[in-house]
Structure 1
Amino acid sequence: MDSWIPRIRIFLARCLDSNPITAAISSSTGFLKSSSANCETNWAAFTSCRSMNNRLLAQAFRYDQYFQPYQKNDFVLSFFQDPNVTSQLKVISASSGQWKTLDTEVKKIEAKQIPCNRLSMSLFDPLNNEGIVRESGHISKCLDEYVDDFVISDELRKVLLQEAFDKYDIFSPSDREEFLFLLFKHLCLGGSLCQFEDTIDPYVETTKSIYKDLLSVKKHPETKEISILSSVFRVTAYDDQGICYPSATPHEQTFAYLIVDPMKRHINVLYHCFGAGAF
């Protein structure tokens, strides 16, 4: 095995639930014990309305070797094959709908690098400029339509989902690939039982909060310009039976992102499994 490949260490586990996850590891392993914490209030309150409550999870891990983006496939495979990861990484059980650890032997992975360049929320200005959001902040409504598992009851969801919508092009293809846009879209679409917001602010502010929590930035010492350090990957893992992570049942709202900070050598994992959350 190449010497660069990281030996993953559990650093922190955070769950978007009223009960923290404690991921204790025996001190004899030489790995750090993880600490645990409750979710931020604004995360919890918002995700419960989206029926994402208790199905959205953030965990963080630490590694001890250098990371190079061009080695992403080896890096991600190493992550999923480390027993200290598979014994701690949480997934939703397809049979019970409850949280469990991955605990399987991963054979292969897919890792798609996600562009992550945005440093402000100006990406979403077209929503106001094109009348999808009114001056009051209220989202323009429309007659209910259905696209796959989603109910479209306003122009916000139209611009996110319907390519035939005449305002779909207010976001360019490159805009739609950005991690900031994807995070916003995930929160807007929510879970299987979703109560939509009437105004745009909860979506934008929660997106901003989670985005800032997950990413690391640096400031250039001379120009003082801010840039994003983190690399973001949307990941899928396979065992002998097929897809085992994030779920054996694919869905646009079932996702797992690995956010790698090469300076602190931290990995944040953002996971969601589509379904009906706990109320």
Structure 2
Amino acid sequence: MAGEQLYAFEQSFSFSPLSSKKFSFLQDKDILTLLMKWSMLGRISAQTFSFDQSFYPYNSERFALCFFRDPNVVSSLRKMETGAWVPLEKPAVSVDVEVVPCTKVSMELFDPIYSCGVLRPSGHVVKCFHDVYPDYDELRQMLQEEDSEHYHVIGRAEREEFLLRLFKHLCLGGELCQYEDTIDPYISTTKHIYKDLISVQKDPETKKISVVSTVLKVYAQDESGRCYPGRWDEEQTFAYMIVHPYKRHVTLLYHSYGVGSVTF
């Protein structure tokens, strides 16, 4: 009986797709050209849903589970399988949720990269030899390999930030990524997408700007195992829920690693 009472008070959320919501990074011609070059075009998406209850970060797992079980989400949320977009189709039975730090309101986090030897004064990325990856460079090595001499230029806490994770995802790209010779396209695209997804507010007294969004990295499982964002563990197949608690909107940023496509 006591267990039933506890369950009765467990918060539940309902969701509705906001199909009219558009994202400028998926409309901008220059960014679309870069996403094609990075083998991400047609494999990256963003969908927004409204929800009906107050959200608090401590309730993130319950929120995500309700999301992946909601009939409106199951029927309208898309994922990529064998190169085609398909609906989620089945409700989740469980979720794994990581609250991702998201506090940055400027691009200062990247300042150390410009003076540590990863880049030339012109902004060109320094190339380096790698046993596995041809055409490797110091930027990707710094982002991926802890034994890189430049790895600790960006601190552990900064590496956890959503802004840095987004930058890393773009730098690594898709299966047939054509990597950039300079850092500028990665920086400008990261800034554009981040501003598209993250909401901020200004304190009327201090004038300080702060992030109000909560970011959740999510994986969902159905009765067959992991079903979203993909069946297999791949760093570049990812899903982030960006929650705006005041508007009661949640945007899901999704990418499926593979060969890019012009269709969506």
TM-score normalized by the length of structure 1: 0.87
- Determine the structure 2 residue equivalent to 1:99: 85
Is structure 2 residue 62 aligned with structure 1 residue 74? yes
- Determine the structure 2 residue equivalent to 1:47: 35
Q: Which runs of 5+ in 2 are unaligned?
A: 1-7
SS at match of 2:18: strand
Is structure 2 residue 218 aligned with structure 1 residue 211? no
| C-alpha separation in 2, matches of 1:185 and 1:171 | 12
Q: CA deviation at 1:151?
A: 5.2
Q: CA deviation at 1:109?
A: 0.4
Cα deviation code 1:176-235 (max 9, x no counterpart):
111000000000000010100111110000000000000100110111110000000000
Q: CA deviation at 1:99?
A: 0.6
Cα deviation code 1:82-140 (max 9, x no counterpart):
010011111011xx321101011210001100000111111111111102112211111
Q: Which runs of 5+ in 1 are unaligned?
A: 17-35
- Determine the structure 1 residue equivalent to 2:4: none
What letter is aligned with 1:109?
V
Q: Which moved more, 1:7-16 or 1:259-268?
A: 7-16
What letter is aligned with 1:267?
V
- Determine the structure 1 residue equivalent to 2:5: none
Contact 1:232/1:259 (CA < 8 Å) preserved in 2?
Answer: yes
Matches within 5 A, 1:73-222: 73-93=61-81, 96-146=82-132, 153-222=136-205
What letter is aligned with 2:93?
K
Cα deviation code 1:230-254 (max 9, x no counterpart):
0000000000000000000110111
Q: CA deviation at 1:152?
A: 6.0
Q: CA deviation at 1:77?
A: 0.4
Contact 1:15/1:57 (CA < 8 Å) preserved in 2?
Answer: no
Structure 1 residues 126 and 37: CA distance shift in structure 2, 3 A: closer
Alignment match of 1:255 (pick from 216, 238, 257): 238
Structure 1 residues 127 and 152: CA distance shift in structure 2, 3 A: farther
| C-alpha separation in 2, matches of 1:270 and 1:198 | 26
| C-alpha separation in 1, matches of 2:50 and 2:234 | 29
Task: Determine what percentage of the aligned residue pairs are the same residue.
Answer: 45
Matches within 5 A, 1:31-42: 39-42=27-30
- Determine the structure 2 residue equivalent to 1:244: 227
Q: Alignment RMSD, CA only?
A: 1.9
Structure number with higher relative contact order (C-alpha < 8 Å, ≥ 6 residues apart): 2
Cα deviation code 1:141-178 (max 9, x no counterpart):
112442xxx65611001101111111111011111111
| C-alpha separation in 2, matches of 1:184 and 1:213 | 14
Structure 1 residues 124 and 87: CA distance shift in structure 2, 3 A: same
| C-alpha separation in 2, matches of 1:13 and 1:195 | 32
- Determine the structure 1 residue equivalent to 2:3: none
What letter is aligned with 1:75?
F
Alignment match of 1:224 (pick from 207, 212, 237): 207
| C-alpha separation in 2, matches of 1:186 and 1:171 | 16
Contact 1:58/1:271 (CA < 8 Å) preserved in 2?
Answer: yes
SS at match of 1:236: strand
TM-score normalized by the length of structure 2: 0.91
Is structure 2 residue 21 aligned with structure 1 residue 11? no
What letter is aligned with 2:90?
T
